[in-house]
Amino acid sequence: MRLRRWLGVALNHLVFLAIVAYFLSPLTWLFTSAFRENPSVWVEFKDFTLGNFPRVFTGETARWVRNSLFIALTTALMAVGGSFLAAYPFARFEFRGKTLSLFLLVLSMTIPLSAVMLPTFSLARFLHLHNTLIGVALVIAARQIPMGIWVTKEFIASIPIELEEAAWVDGASRWTTIWRVILPLCGPGLAVIGLMSFVAGWGDFTTCLIMLSSEELYPISMGLYKASIEATSWGYVSVDYGVMCAIGLIYLIPPMLAFLFTHRYLVKGMVLGAVKQ
């Protein structure tokens, strides 16, 4: 029994170490290559330099970051607002087609983005939203809202209806009750949706690649590709890993800051979203 228990513990530790190595290896390569001169695809601790960063801190990089922040923040606001307003009727009312609508929301989350990009682009072009940052944010937010509706619906359903009834007795309207009572209690769930949507908007590449044609509107995800690819005189393409990793470090900062500011609400949001009160 002792040998079997020892083998079980050893196996658990090996699996844990393998998972840690799997996730830390790319980050280790990213951090070391950003501070190396002429880095390669291998992790090496030599030839350290700060020469990659002066090539990164330019006006073009600042524009990329500004565009990405606009897309990410707008996506988060649209996803949070749309999810909350749409989730309340699903949580509080019974109406014809409710089950079918919820089923279609789940179905929409299974459709790959590449399968709907052509009609999405056609619709955006018809509405004159193509090649605009607000159009990109709208498309990304639309992909986040179905999941947001499900999460927020569970939060609102877990809030006792007696709280709203007490507010109605005191003379509050339904809209006042929604904004003054329901919205604050859904804060942890909305924080989860906001963070997920912010990260989705910040890190998106495919939607920006298809929707944007002007280089002045490029976010940092596309700028990272543009800055690290260089065409050589003999027709081949080379990758500047030092510049790519230096921009990659900048790429990591906003999602990390967003997580640090919202992590207190994330655990509470995930727990409350899974447990009925």
Regions in the chain scoring below 50 on pLDDT: 231-233, 273-277
pLDDT in tens, 205-234: 889 988 998 888 999 988 887 776 664 445
Question: Does any domain span residue 54?
Answer: no
Same domain, 189 and 78: yes
CATH code of the domain covering residue 87: 1.10.3720.10
Domain membership of residue 242 (yes or no) is: yes
Q: Which residues have C-beta within 8 Å of that of residue 100, sequence separation ≥ 6?
A: none
Q: Could you tell me the pTM of the whole model?
A: 0.83
Evaluate whether 196 touches 265 at the Cβ level (below 8 Å). no
Domain count, the chain: 2
Tokens of 27: 């980050």
Cβ-Cβ contacts under 8 Å for 240 (sequence gap 6 or more): 227, 228, 229, 230
| pLDDT computed for residue 269 by the predictor | 52
Q: Are residues 70 and 41 in the same domain?
A: no
Residues 237 and 102 in one domain: yes
Please name the residue ranges forming H helices in 159-240: 161-169, 174-177, 183-185, 187-203, 206-211, 220-228
| 76/187 same-domain check | yes
Rounded Cα–Cα distance for residues 274 and 277 (Å): 10
Residue 92 and residue 205 in one domain: yes
- 171/92 same-domain check: yes
Residue 247 lies in a domain: yes
Residues 22 and 91 in one domain: no
Domain containing 192 equals 59-274
Co-location of 143 and 253 in the same domain: yes
Same domain, 135 and 36: no
In sequence order, what are the residues at sequence separation of 6 or more whose Cβ sits closer than 8 angstroms to the Cβ of residue 214?
131
Rounded distance between C-alpha atoms, residue 205 and residue 114, angstroms: 12
Q: Are residues 10 and 67 in the same domain?
A: no
CA geometry: angle 17, 21, 26, nearest 5 deg: 165
For position 144, what pLDDT does the model report?
Answer: 92
- Is 110 found in the same domain as 2? no
pLDDT of residue 41: 76
What are the backbone dihedrals phi and psi of residue 159, each rounded to the nearest 5 degrees, phi first? -85, 125
The pLDDT of residue 51 is 79
Tokens of 179: 């904004």
41 and 66 fall within a common domain: no
User: Residue 236's pLDDT is what?
Assistant: 61
pLDDT at 73: 94
- Supply 90's token pair: 């699903």
